[in-house]
Structure 1
């Protein structure tokens, strides 16, 4: 009978780990890439490293990784030229994608910088 009594606790622990995994779904290389770009923009100091790391952690709590990838794609495509990339420069869908990202980034800047 003892294993049956422990089942609710085991399920609760597993659910807690699944929730933590959902918040931490950004791969390490995506977080590192963000921190490198952030440090290149804001300075190469230990203090800036901490602030940039905090920022990507905050963004990850607000924005799912798939949405982050979509926003990064739109931003990168807007920097290139050509008619194939024109669809990334206009349209309500692209604006919505970027507005969610910019909101998450603004919140991270307030909390971390």
Structure 2
């Protein structure tokens, strides 16, 4: 009986360690999901954002915040699709028309615009 009582604190500590370790693993998985945007894509976004918002120190912080928010809301492959649609929809003629009229293209573009609007609210 004494042995069981003496083991209780160790069992509690062991359980707490297991919970902490599993929380760390989940947090690392979320961080990996959040960081699926390559550095070059983040830098390209920030450079474009700086051009649009004035090249100030405050704009650097706001633009960096903005791409972080976007990355937290939409996966990178969806971001690439939306950026492609945005670029190709500016092409004149039939090719550009396909990107302007496609339901899938419009959906990807709407996702990006919603994420950008959320980033605007949070960062600017």
Band the TM-score falls in, shorter-chain normalisation: 0.7 to 0.9
The match for 2:112 is 101
The match for 1:66 is 77
The match for 2:58 is 47
Q: How many residues align?
A: 110
Q: What RMSD in Å do the two structures reach over aligned CA positions?
A: 1.8
Could you tell me the TM-score, scaled by structure 1's length?
A: 0.86
The match for 2:34 is 23
Shift of 1:93: 1.3
Match of 2:99 among 85, 88, 91: 88
Shift of 1:95: 1.1
Separation in 2, partners of 1:20, 1:84: 38
Could you tell me the TM-score, scaled by structure 2's length?
A: 0.79
Instruction: Flag the structure with more relative contact order, 1 or 2, with Cα contacts below 8 A and sequence separation at least 6.
Output: 1
Gaps of 5+ in 1: none
Secondary structure, counterpart of 2:70 in structure 1 = helix
Once superposed, which parts of structure 1, at least 4 consecutive aligned residues long, lie more than 4 Å away? 5-12
Gaps of 5+ in 2: 1-13
